[in-house]
Structure 1
């Protein structure tokens, strides 16, 4: 495995976390 692969995986993880955080924030702002 090369370094780029690990970086890509970490980026994917961060994206998933950011997406969940964003959706929760949107829900709070909307008032669901």
Structure 2
């Protein structure tokens, strides 16, 4: 049970990071 929670947390962090990086790339491309 604990492992599943940890895995879900890691996935959420990865998704957040990916969105953040993608947003930065888009902003850079617009400049």
Q: TM-score, normalised by structure 2?
A: 0.78
Q: Which structure 1 residue ranges, 4+ long, deviate > 3 Å from structure 2?
A: none
Aligned residues between the structures: 31
Q: Which runs of 5+ in 1 are unaligned?
A: none
Q: Which runs of 5+ in 2 are unaligned?
A: none
CA distance in 1, matches of 2:30, 2:22: 12
Normalized per residue, the structure richer in helix is 2
CA distance in 2, matches of 1:7, 1:29: 33
Give the root-mean-square deviation of aligned CA atoms: 1.4
